[in-house]
Structure 1
């Protein structure tokens, strides 16, 4: 048996249904604006701008669905609209999960502190619970 030449890389990505929901929301927003159109160009213009923003947000999910990847060399995070940034393990200072309770709801955000940059990921960015991803990152980090 030959050893696997490629190191194990784990990836976390946006759930496939999320961009579809965003695009459906943009279409529904436009349809609603046209249905309720009373000849007000400002109302229609705002609906078009909001729908375009929602469609651009969905496009980002389609262009760069993988938000976070981890391998033996370090972590790759999405940066900007669809760029990628490689963070070596030596630059990653801390991986934590920030939990906040507000109005009866608890939210979790994965924080990757790389000194000069801080990268934040929610459950919908990762398609998994941030605590589970943080645990996987801690396991993947070389000792």
Structure 2
């Protein structure tokens, strides 16, 4: 990587929330040992939150941009370098279903599409898309 670098990462507050969820549900699982279903449910929630928190600890930076291109987290903690020349489109994908609305930063290389949420980026998707476009073109 050379020159200026932009990084988007998971917010630390979100990691703290996940850790608190792990602790609360682990305690609930222990306290509900007389209720097998409650113990299993609380244990599963604690386990899922622990896996998500672990990913945030091992790969907190989800997207990096430099003069050569992007580095995007792929899978649990892997990453992939994508040169600027391979990127066909950067856009924000918005969808509304019933009462919920989702937004994803979409990076399309023609062969692969990388989707990152505001939880991955730590900022609104549109803000990250605008910064990427400006960084890429220099305007």
Displacement of 1:38: 5.7
Q: Which runs of 5+ in 1 are unaligned?
A: 1-5
Q: Which runs of 5+ in 2 are unaligned?
A: none
Displacement of 1:55: 0.6
Q: TM-score, normalised by structure 2?
A: 0.89
Q: Number of residues paired by the alignment?
A: 138
**1: distance between equivalents of 2:65 and 2:23?**
36
Q: Secondary structure at the match of 1:90?
A: helix
Most deviating of 96-105 and 77-86: 96-105
**1: distance between equivalents of 2:133 and 2:33?**
56
Q: Secondary structure at the match of 1:7?
A: coil
Q: TM-score, normalised by structure 1?
A: 0.86
Stretches (4+) displaced over 6 A = none
Q: Which has more radius of gyration? A: 1
Higher helix share: 2
* Correspondent of 1:30 among 20, 26, 30: 26
- 1:53 aligns with 48
Matched, 1:79 2:74: yes
Given the superposition, is the C-alpha separation of residues 42 and 140 from structure 1 closer, same or farther in structure 2, using an over 3 Å criterion? same
* Correspondent of 1:7 among 3, 7, 27: 3
Most deviating of 20-29 and 103-112: 103-112
